[in-house]
Each structure stands twice: as C-alpha cells, then as structure tokens.
Amino acid sequence: AQSVAQPEDQVNVAEGNPLTVKCTYSVSGNPYLFWYVQYPNRGLQFLLKYITGDNLVKGSYGFEAEFNKSQTSFHLKKPSALVSDSALYFCAVRVPYSSASKIIFGSGTRLSIRP
C-alpha cells in the first residue's frame, strides 16, 4: 500500500533562513512525487514534481525538492524563506500508469516564517 509520512506537524523558520520540510514515502514500484501548498480557505496548489532524472527538482516560488531513492525521501527546500511562504505544505505520491494510480497525501506540515 502507498503511504506518505511528514514527520513534522510544524516547522518554524526566520525570514531569510533556509527551510526544509521533510517527506518520506513507501510504495511498490517507481513513484512520482509531488509537493503542494495550501493557503487558508483555498484549495491545494501544485508546487513541483519528481518523475525521473535529476534528483533535485525546481518548482514555483523558488522552492526545490531533493529526491533520495535509498532513503525514500523527497524533502522540500528553499534557500531563503519569505514570510509569504507561511502556509500548509503537503507531500504526495502516485504510482503512474497503473490501474490503481491514485494520489496519496501526507498529513501536512505547517510552515511558519517569522519576520
């Protein structure tokens, strides 16, 4: 069965500092991995994805994520945090091209950036 773990409910970072939001996954096969962001009273917005190739993928708003197959991790990173990055972040996994190619989300991590 597919599963995604986000071990931190909340991450607090000072503006200008680098940030990391952690994600690990468990699936059979080679998954596609995604990060989404949710602002208050809004739907989830797609940030970036890993399909294949370079383990470091870049996405919207200066975010990037590093895929590590041996550690089954896909951590979200940003070199310099902004107050406007404060939101709820979700990691997700999908096994592509399968009959059960559903998208499973982690529990979410609330990112708080202090000025």
Partner 1 sequence: DAGVIQSPRHEVTEMGQEVTLRCKPISGHNSLFWYRQTMMRGLELLIYFNNNVPIDDSGMPEDRFSAKMPNASFSTLKIQPSEPRDSAVYFCASSVGTATEAFFGQGTRLTVV
Instruction: Tell whether residue 42 is a contact of partner 1 (CB under 8 A).
Output: yes
* Distance from C-alpha of 71 to C-alpha of 6, rounded to nearest angstrom: 14
**Under the criterion CB under 8 A, does residue 89 sit at the interface with partner 1?**
no
Does position 53 interact with partner 1 (CB under 8 A)? The reply is no
Q: Which of 3, 17, 55, 101 is the binder for partner 1 (CB under 8 A)?
A: 101
DSSP state of 83: G
C-beta of 36 vs 78, nearer to partner 1 = 36
Among 78, 85, 108, 111, binds partner 1 (CB under 8 A): 108
61 binds partner 1 (CB under 8 A): no
Number of residues this chain uses to bind partner 1 (CB under 8 A): 25
| DSSP per-residue letters across 24-74 | EEE-SS--EEEEEEE-TTS-EEEEEEE-SS-SEEE-GGG-EEEEETTTTEE
- Residues 95 and 99: their CA atoms lie apart, in Å, by 9
CA 37 to the chain's CA centroid: 8
Asked if 46 is part of the footprint of partner 1 (rule: CB under 8 A), the reply reads: yes
Binding residues for partner 1, rule: CB under 8 A, are 32, 34, 36, 42-46, 49, 51, 90, 94, 96-108
